Amino acid sequence: MFKYVLQRILYMFLVFMIITFMCFVLIRMLPLPVLPPEDKHTYQILRRREALGYNEPYLVQFWLFLKNIVTKWDWGLSEKLYFGQDVWKIFVGKLPATMIVNLYSIIWTIPVGVGLGVWAALKKNTWIDYFLSTATMVVISVPSFVYAFLVQYILCFRLHWFPFLMKGGTDYFSWDMFVSIVPPVLSLSFGVIAGFCRTTRAELTEVLTSEFMLLARTKGLTRAQATVRHALRNCFVVIVPGIFGEFIGILGGSLIIEGIFAIPGVGRLTLDAINSLDYNIFMLSTCFYTAIGLAASLVVDISYGFIDPRIRMGSKK
Amino acid sequence: MKRTLAFLLAFVMVAMALVGCNPKKGNGDDTGDVGGKNPNGSVEITEFDPNAKYTYKAAVSTVPTGWNPHTYQTADDAVYFDYTTDSLYTLFFNDEIHPQEGREAFEGYVIVPSMAADFPVDVTEAVKASHPQFNIPESATSGYAWEVTLRDGLKWQDGTPITAQDFVDSLERVLRPELINFRATDYDHGTYAVVNAEAYSHSGRYVLGEFVSAALGDDEYVDPADFTVSENGTYQVDGQDVVIDLTSGGNWGDSLLDYYNTKDAEKEEDRMPEAIINAIGALIEKADANNWVYINAETIKMVQDVIAMLHGAPNVEAYAAAPGVGDYAYQEFEEMAFLGKTWDTASFDDVGLFADGNKLTFVFANALDGFYLMTYGMSTSYLVKTDVYDKSLKPTESASGTAWSSTYGTDLDTSVSYGPYVLTEYQNGKSMHFSKNENWWGWTSDVYTYVDPDNGKCYRMYQTTDVDLQYVKEAATQKQMFLNGQLMTYGLQSNDYDDYRNSDYYYATPAETIYFLLFNGYESVINDREAAADFDKNARDLQTQMLESFRRGCAVSIDREDMAKTVSPARQGGYAFIGNTYIYDPETCAYYRDTDQAKQALVNFYSINLADYDNDLDKAVDAITGYDPETAKAKFAEAYQEALAKGYITDADNDGKSDQTVTMYYAGSGEINEFFSKTIDYLNTSLNNGAKGTGLEGKIEIVYENAGENEWNNKLRSGLLDTQLAGWSGAVLDPFSMADTWTDSSAAYWGAWYDATKHDMELTIDGEKITMSLRDWALCLNGTMTKVGDKEYNFGYGQTTVENRLTILAAIEEQMLTAYNCVPILQNGSGALLSKQVYYIVEDYNPMMGRGGIQYMKYNFSDTEWETYVQEQGGTLAY
């Protein structure tokens, strides 16, 4: 197991480096904005680009980029969006807002989504199942930003229940902050709940008809005990990777939600960095998302062993 | 009887109150008189309630990320300066306290010393004698050096004094060569450059300056045979290397690398021909690490050939042989070739700004005076608190050495205000909050006061106590927040106009850009297009659009105001080359369109009979709609006959209708969208309605063609596409410079078929009849000495009376209108709602002052009252 994990981490590092290098080169290959010829500032920009080494070979630039990170944990300075500012500080300053919204979203979507899925599975072929399945299909088909506008219009504008925008400041666990986070969390959650509901229902429906479930019941377990201890645990082999997948998905989905609810998070920062070709911010965001993605896949793989003892990591047999 | 009288009196009072009530102005001033006098000592200052809070709440689409005055690059970042900076001189609306001769209150503006104690004093003679290093011309007696005394009591937000030396030290930092500050060029280049500032900011560096054709003056080129050759073989002009920067197209726009990179385009039609790619590839091999190609005996031919190929010729010799090209083929590369040189090491001691006690002396590279001196020349936006600034500097190792960056103006700790407000909260990407800067001298001085035109009382400016800026991305969110009373303004979207155009709280703001409907007059190209194998001559015709009668028919078929409402509600009808926001005399805020000359030009163009309007120019101009169905019908009928006679169209079946559809291809820059679709539909409907009852009825069509983002412009200019609703604007304070653009064949869309050097115009100036070409009139109007016979003329700024300049400008405008290369259709603009919590004391928009911004904004409700009011209205307000 240990050897397997070590091996996966090494592979992960290799993939991380390849992706990082590719992104480093690709973003620099994008043409820089055309400078207006008659603007007197044009030459200051060109001089600065030269001083920053933009005209050097990519490999030279990449080597310096890596060296600064490894030796000084220096991710460079922003050249466009936050001119002259340390991109690490900017990124770290914005990370909590993104994380808190995603965390709240995940915290309540898992139990609600799985719960609805279990209910639908247990009430298979009843009106409850039909209703939930249909609703799931409808909800899952609508992108999260549509919910954002609906939530904002109904709950914030018409009913005045919530503020339009996320509260300012860094008191992430205050009541006012919580209230202001409800609209973006709701907007992000509908699709996720529907997704969990659909997956759980599909898996559980199949497991509930298995022979070992019959055996469990004949052993004297109640329906609830059999469902929770045996059926659900089997389902989690599929659901748990889904949870990590959704977490990454929500991080991606929140790029737009962050804009609509003025969440000062890293999602918006990434989009802005790409649009303005702010190399260093883009690279830090890319490395972050890549690392999260790779780490999540590793955790998912390892979690299989815990969820289902039949799965043995690194076994060659 | 008494009762009846009392009732009548009460009724009259109520009626009068209602008549005098402006719905935008609500429950009064919320003030109490506590004394104080304005500068002329005649009016008591009415103070606002000192305990009330008035917060200006606005949405921004981008929260400033950095507001270092030496490095900021965007207007979004500059928002910070609106609230936290001061200037030596500022503009106030004219009123009783700041009167302007001949103008009603709030119709114009006046210049007022702000950080300066008084107006500047010309010390040119004295400085010329004491500081020879500034090289003030021997002949100059005024305009180059100016002394300003600073006001007492200027302070930074922390209470430390602002000194004259702070200005000098700040200028040194913005220009410091190793910092490569973006804003350095604001002070070392151009009309308002401080003397020797450029030498200091470029000190010891090899710098590419302007491109050759610009460095030598307008439309000037050097015969390559006249280039000198440096020791290493590089061609030079005036001792400077001639260099092509492959990443910059200079005056061409697109760079050679842009063309080269098309080789990777997905679609074949987006790729440049292989020969061009190869030719540029060869040049790339000659470039250094900066992508610079030094022009020498070898590379000059390569560059000339590339330019020729871009024009469709195989090489420069073939290009030169084309009609009308000649030597230009060998010189055209100078439009993208820059002059480069290594600057000598320079000291800041030789830069033209020095302090003596509380006096500052400015020395400029050019003579300046009046409005331009005080507003632009003496702009001291570079002012920084140097101890904070120096701590914020940081060197960064780069692949090419060291680049310096600064964190000045990035958070609360590195921001230092010297204006009315101070930054008190900031969350990046989210919000900014400003509160009153108690150390700003203006809060306690009588300078920042005005007389309210409504009640004649004197108030302090800036009733606003706090400013709150929030990031709100979506217009829908902004609108909902506005309607819930959480924002002060809402910029209307196109689908909002039907609901809010007639609101009492709606403000329309005109903009400079005029949109013209272009016509193609490139006869040879049109003929070639018609002769092409894939063109169906039996179904379509391109030639009729060249007829003046047809163009005039089009011009009067379009109801401009209706079109604006239908297609683009923020805009309004456009009737002239120059819109109604251009100021010809910035000293007095005099509008060009208000002059008799400009009005007469329009009356002439639209064939208005002045006698029908009691010989009143104003009435006649007000009556212009540009829409005249009768004339349209007559002109289209004339065009039909003319086109038949010339063989442009046929009528084989003798039904009195053209067999062909007169077609104009609209130059689109992308896939057609709703706006273009509506525009073209409207134009097609209007033109065919205008042609009703003529042989062209139902036979006129504008067809959208996606020419691509990079090509639509070239295709219009080269006659390969015919029309567009093209926008054009100029410098708001210099309408005269626009005449240069209209008559410059390299700038105007119609340059290839309308040569302004061949159209003469006679004018009587100071009793003398002068005839010269339109192009010469335009150049002469903009300061070029022009020779007619034995006499030389210059009607540039300061060279003749303003009246003469207006006469010339209006005459050129009229001539260009009657040339019918294009017809003005729309004027750009925008519309917004203003919250009931506040109102502007000035209703009319002024291009320089807007409506006064928060400086002149007054409140109907304090924050607490507003909250209550919104709740009483159910949380959502009606506008």
To which residue do tokens 């922003």 refer?
A: A78
d(CA B574, CA B725): 12
Mutate to test the interface with B, among A164, A258, A280 (most CBs of B within 10 A): A164
Q: Are residues A218 and A303 in the same domain?
A: yes
For the entire predicted model, the pTM comes to 0.84
B window 558-577, beta carbon within 8 A of A: none
Asked if B261 has any chain A CB less than 8 Å from its own CB, the reply is: yes
Binned at pLDDT 50, 70 and 90, residue B288 comes out as: confident
Number of H helices, E strands in chain B: 28, 38
Q: Which of B182, B259, B400, B709 to mutate to test the interface with A (most CBs of A within 10 A)?
A: B400
pLDDT given at position B301: 94
Task: Name the residue among B754, B812, B819, B817 with its Cα closest to residue B779.
Answer: B812
Q: B77 Cβ partners below 8 Å, 6+ apart? A: B64, B65, B66, B67
| Contact present, B140 and B365 (Cβ < 8 Å) | no
Cα distances from A170 to residues A93, B62, B219, B578, in angstroms, run 9, 20, 58, 51
- A169 and A281 belong to one structural domain: yes
Q: Do residues B361 and B127 touch, judged by C-beta distance below 8 A? A: yes
Q: Tell me if B123 sits within 8 A of B146, measured CB to CB.
A: yes
Residue B665 sits in the same domain as residue B599: yes
- A165 → closest Cβ in B291, B397, B470: B470
Percentage of residues of chain A with pLDDT beyond 70: 90
Q: Are residues A157 and A278 in the same domain?
A: yes
DSSP for A107-154? HHHHHHHHHHHHHHHHTTTSHHHHHHHHHHHHHHHS-HHHHHHHHIII
Q: Confidence band (pLDDT; 50, 70, 90) for A313?
A: low
- The whole-angstrom distance between A21's CA and the closest CA on chain B is 17
Round to whole Å and give the CA distance between B79 and A144. 32
Asked if A290 and A262 sit in the same domain, the reply is: yes
- Between residues B373 and B258, the one the model is more confident about: B373
Shortest distance between the Cα of A276 and any Cα of chain B, in A, equals 12
Q: Which of A43, A61, A262 sits opposite B207 (nearest CB)?
A: A43
Instruction: Kindly report, residue by residue over B644-691, the tens digit of the pLDDT.
Output: 999 999 999 999 999 999 999 999 988 888 889 999 999 999 999 999
Mind telling me how many Å the CA of A172 is from chain B's nearest CA? 14
Domain check: are B462 and B544 in the same one? no
Cα torsion B767, B772, B778, B781: sign: negative
Average pLDDT on B126-132 reads 96
Q: A276 and A225 in one domain?
A: yes
For A132, counting Cβ atoms within 10 Å of its Cβ (0-12 exposed, 13-18 middle, 19+ buried), the class is buried
Q: Return the pLDDT at B16.
A: 46
A63: confidence class by pLDDT, cuts 50, 70, 90: confident
One-letter-per-residue 3-state SS of B236-284? EECCEEEEEECCCCHHHCCCHHHHHHHHHCCCHHHCCCHHHHHHHHHHH
Give B431's contacts in chain A (Cβ within 8 Å). 168, 262
Structural domain includes residue B568 = yes
Rounded CA separation B235/B417 (Å)? 50
Instruction: Tell whether B208 lies on the interface with A, counting CB pairs under 8 A.
Output: yes
B33 band by pLDDT with thresholds 50, 70 and 90: very low
Q: Which residues of A touch B261 (CB under 8 A)?
A: 31
Of B68, B209, B477, the CB nearest to A164: B477
Residues B701 and B666 in one domain: yes
Instruction: Verify that B301 and B255 share a domain, yes or no.
Output: yes
CATH number of the domain enclosing B440: 3.40.190.10
* Interface mutation vs chain A, best among B68, B203, B471, B478, most A CBs within 10 Å: B471
Domain final residue, candidates A87, A110, A141: A87
B chain contacts of residue A160, beta-carbon cutoff 8 Å: 484, 875
Residue B866's pLDDT is 97
Query: Which residues 172-191 in chain B show a CB within 8 A of chain A?
Result: 180-186, 189-190
Other C-beta atoms closer than 10 Å to the C-beta of A291 total 15
Which chain A residue has the Cα nearest residue B432? A168
pLDDT digits (tens, 9 = 90+) for B184-215: 989 988 889 999 999 999 999 888 877 776 66
Instruction: Judge if A153 and A189 occupy the same domain.
Output: yes
Among residues A61, A87, A113, which one ends one of the domains?
A: A87
Asked if A230 is an interface residue toward chain B (Cβ–Cβ < 8 A), one would say no
Find the CB nearest A40 among B181, B189, B472.
B189
- What are the structure tokens assigned to B141, written together? 């007696």
Q: Judge whether B477 is closer than 8 Å to chain A, CB to CB.
A: yes
Looking at residue B31, what is its pLDDT?
Answer: 46
Question: Residue B54's pLDDT is what?
Answer: 97
Residue B169's pLDDT is 97
Q: Read off the tokens for A210.
A: 């298995």
Sheet of strand B449-451: strand arrangement? B31-37, B44-48, B458-460, B449-451
Report the relative pairing of strands B661-668 and B700-706 from DSSP bridges. Answer: parallel
Interchain contact A33–B (C-beta under 8 A)? no
Label residue A39 by pLDDT band (50, 70, 90): low
Q: What is the pLDDT of residues B790-831, one digit of tens each?
A: 899 999 888 899 999 999 999 999 999 999 999 999 999 999
Do A197 and A271 reside in the same domain of the chain?
A: yes
Using CB atoms and an 8 Å cut-off, which of residues 85-124 of chain A contact chain B?
Answer: 85, 90, 93-94
Asked if residue B296 and residue B164 are part of one domain, the reply reads no
> Does A77 contact B486 at a Cβ distance shorter than 8 Å?
no
The CATH code of the domain that includes B199 is 3.90.76.10
First CA to last CA distance, chain A: 14
Q: What CATH number does residue A254 fall under?
A: 1.10.3720.10
DSSP conformation letters of B821-849: SEEEEEEEEEEEEE-TTEEES--S-BTTT
Q: Would A39 be classed as within a structural domain?
A: yes
Domain-ending residue, one of A87, A104, A130: A87
Q: B476 — contact with chain A (CB < 8 Å)?
A: yes
Pairwise CB contact (< 8 Å): A61 & B396: no
Q: Which of A38, A58, A83, A260 to probe by mutation at the B interface, max B CB count within 10 Å? A: A83
CB–CB contact B394 A85 (8 Å) = no
A153 shares a domain with A36: no
Token pair for B174: 């913005």
Residues B411 and B66 sit within 8 Å (Cβ to Cβ): no
Distance of CA B191 to the CA centre of its chain: 17
**Interval B392-406 mean pLDDT:** 79
Nearest CB among B251, B428, B430 relative to A262 is that of B430
Q: Which residues of A touch B247 (CB under 8 A)?
A: 32, 46
Is residue B89 a part of any domain in this protein? no
- Tell me if B97 is assigned to some domain: no
Domain count, chain B: 5
pLDDT tens digits along A179-231: 999 999 999 899 889 999 998 999 888 888 888 888 888 888 888 888 888 88
Answer for the pair B142, B124: CB distance below 8 angstroms, yes or no.
yes
Assigned domain for A25 exists: yes
- Type and span of the H or E element at B736: helix B736-743
Q: B663 with B573, same domain?
A: yes
> Could you give the CA distance from residue A190 to residue A144 in angstroms, rounded to a whole number?
8
- What ranges in B440-503 are assigned the alpha helix state H? 475-483, 497-500
In B, minimum Cα distance to A158 occurs at B876
Element housing A104 (H / E): helix A87-122
What is the domain extent for residue B62?
Answer: 23-84+419-488+835-879
Side chain identity, residue B311: H
Q: Cα angle at B613 between B607 and B619, to 5 degrees?
A: 90
- Same structural domain, A105 and A204: yes
Asked if the C-beta of B255 comes within 8 angstroms of chain A's C-beta atoms, the answer is: yes
Domain that holds residue A274: 95-307
Mark whether B575 and B679 lie in a shared domain.
yes
Q: Is the Cβ of B414 closer than 8 Å to some Cβ of chain A? A: no
Whether B66 contacts chain A with CB within 8 A? yes
For residue B165, give both structure tokens: 């030396």
Local structure of B376: helix, strand or coil: helix
List the 146-175 stretch of A: residues with Cβ below 8 A of B: 149, 152-153, 156-158, 160, 164-166, 168-170
Q: How many domains does chain A have?
A: 2
Cα gap B332→A102, rounded to integer Å: 58
Do both A259 and A118 map to the same domain?
yes
Could you give phi then psi for residue B601, rounded to 5 degrees? -60, -40
- Whether B6 maps to a domain, the answer reads no
Name the residue of chain A whose CA is nearest to B483's CA: A157
Q: Does B254 touch chain A (CB under 8 A)?
A: yes
Q: In angstroms, what separates the C-alpha of B261 from chain A's closest C-alpha?
A: 9
Task: Give the whole-angstrom CA distance, residue A149 versus residue A161.
Answer: 15
Task: Please name the member of B184, B214, B291 whose beta carbon is closest to the beta carbon of A44.
Answer: B184
Hey, what are B367's tokens? 């003579």
- Cα–Cα distance between B149 and B117 in angstroms, integer? 6
Task: Mark yes or no for CB contact B185/A52 under 8 Å.
Answer: no
Other CB atoms within 10 Å distance of the CB of residue B171:
27
Tell me whether A269 touches chain B (CB under 8 Å): yes
Both A234 and A103 in one domain: the answer is yes
Tell me, yes or no, whether A312 lies in a domain.
Answer: no
Closest A-chain CA to B68: A83
**Residue A46: its chain B contacts at CB < 8 A?**
208, 245, 247-248
Q: What is the pLDDT of residue A251?
A: 64
Assess B428–A contact: CB distance below 8 Å, yes or no.
yes
Distance separating alpha carbons of residues B509 and B505, to the nearest angstrom? 13
Domain check: are B630 and B521 in the same one? yes
CB atoms near residue B611 (< 10 Å): 8
In B650-738, DSSP assigns E strands to: 661-668, 700-706, 725-728
Same domain flag for A217 and A244:
yes
Question: Quick check: B198 contacting A, CB < 8 Å?
Answer: no
Contacts of B356 (CB under 8 A, 6+ apart): B164
The SS3 of residue B640 is helix
* B499 domain residue, yes or no: no
Per residue in A133-146, pLDDT (tens digit) is: 999 999 989 988 89
Average pLDDT of chain A to the nearest whole number: 85
CA distance B181 to B72: 9
Which of B346, B342, B319 has its CA nearest to residue B330?
B319
Buried b (16+ CB within 10 A) or exposed e, A45-83: bbbbbbbbbbbbeeeebbebbeebbeeeebbbbbbbbbb
Which residues from chain B sit within 8 angstroms of residue A83, using beta carbons?
Answer: 65-66, 68, 71-73, 405
What proportions of chain B, in percent to the nearest 5, are helix, strand and coil? Answer: 35, 20, 45
Test B428 with A93 for CB contact under 8 angstroms: yes
Whether A213 is in a domain gets the answer yes
Cβ–Cβ of A84/B66 closer than 8 Å? yes
C-beta atoms of A48 and B180 within 8 A: yes
A positions 34-63 inside 8 Å of B (CB): 34-35, 37-38, 40-48, 50-53, 55-56, 60-61
Query: Per residue in A266-282, pLDDT tens?
Result: 888 888 888 888 888 99
Minimum mean pLDDT among B172-176, B473-477, B505-509, B780-784: which range? B780-784
Based on the fold, state whether residues B423 and B553 are members of the same structural domain.
Answer: no
The CATH number given to whatever domain includes residue B672 is 3.10.105.10
| Averaged confidence pLDDT in chain B | 90
Q: How far, in Å, CA of B344 to CA of B458, rounded?
A: 56
Query: Do A248 and A43 touch, CB atoms closer than 8 A?
Result: no
Within a domain: B764: yes
pLDDT at position B714 is 81
Chain B residue with the nearest C-alpha to that of A58: B399
